[in-house]
Amino acid sequence: MKVVMAQKILRANEQVARENRERLKHLPTVNLISSPGAGKTTLLERTIQALRGEVNVGVIEGDIYTTRDAERIAGQGAAVVQVNTAGLCHLDANMVGRALDQLDLAGLDLLFIENVGNLVCPAEFDLGEDYKVALLSVAEGGDKPVKYPLVFRESQAVVINKSDLLAYTDFDINKVQEEIRTINPDILIFVTSAATGEGTEGWYAWLREIVRKKRSATG
């Protein structure tokens, strides 16, 4: 019974995700997924700063409770909509669809969906995005890709964040990258420190490229 119910929920979600994707067909959309505390919001703050003046960024901010992360994003001058799930461990397509109603999509060049902090549930739900991006913190330990392979299999890119802490951990950066590519050979990997800016230029370059591609494809 639980399996049947889960299938119905995912099918219903897929229909709304298709509707979201149609609404977002002119706007590159990135679904950012990580554990709590991995640095999603800090990375977004730094990204908004780096792209300011060339890319108009919007953010749908997912959290179980509070508006603190949305307030941080708004402080960078980006358009932001807060979605509180009130206990649910992920955003779904319906939540995102309602958030889209509150954004001036025509005025944006790039949309981020910062999902609820969780490496499990968010990977299963299509939100209508173009790209899933997994964010993995050095401070979490290097076993996360093999323990939670679905999110790395479903993602087009992974950001290994907090590289400034590598010297203080047993995180084996080469081994982790090898294990990620075993799960998903085509995935892009960026090693960054959102706190210091180390390694972020490659991430920014990729974002600029997906914006350029979408503009070219949609005219």
Q: What is the pLDDT of residues 108-164, one digit of tens each?
A: 999 999 999 999 999 999 999 999 999 999 999 999 999 999 999 999 999 999 999
The amino acid that residue 109 corresponds to is D
* Structural domain contains residue 89: yes
Q: Coil, helix or strand for 16? A: helix
* Structural domain contains residue 133: yes
On the CB side of 135, CA atoms within 13 Å amount to: 29
pLDDT above 70 for 4: no
Question: What does the alpha-carbon distance between residue 138 and residue 118 come to, in Å, rounded to a whole number?
Answer: 16
pLDDT digits 0-9 by tens, 149-180 = 999 999 999 999 999 999 999 999 999 999 99
pLDDT above 80 for 18: yes
pLDDT above 50 for 192: yes
63 vs 7, residue with greater confidence? 63
* Structural domain contains residue 218: no
At 129, which CATH number?
3.40.50.300
Q: Residue 98 is part of which domain span?
A: 14-208
Query: Are 35 and 117 spatial neighbours (Cβ–Cβ below 8 Å)?
Result: yes
* Structural domain contains residue 8: no
Cβ neighbors of 136 (< 8 A, separation 6 or more) are 34, 35, 38, 144, 145, 158, 159, 160, 161, 176
Residue 43 token pair = 């990375």
What pLDDT score does 6 carry? 55
Across the chain, what does the average pLDDT equal? 94
* Structural domain contains residue 9: no
CB atoms within 10 A of CB 209: 11
Query: Are 199 and 191 spatial neighbours (Cβ–Cβ below 8 Å)?
Result: yes
Query: Are 179 and 145 spatial neighbours (Cβ–Cβ below 8 Å)?
Result: yes
pLDDT digits 0-9 by tens, 61-90 = 999 999 999 999 999 999 999 999 987 889
Report the predicted TM-score, pTM, of the whole model to 2 decimal places.
Answer: 0.94
Q: How many domains does the chain contain in total?
A: 1
| Rounded average pLDDT over 8-28 | 92
The amino acid that residue 18 corresponds to is R
* Structural domain contains residue 113: yes
In terms of Cβ atoms closer than 10 Å to its own Cβ (0-12, 13-18, 19+), residue 115 is buried
H or E stretch at 139: none
What pLDDT score does 103 carry? 98
* Structural domain contains residue 103: yes
Query: Are 142 and 31 spatial neighbours (Cβ–Cβ below 8 Å)?
Result: no
* Structural domain contains residue 106: yes
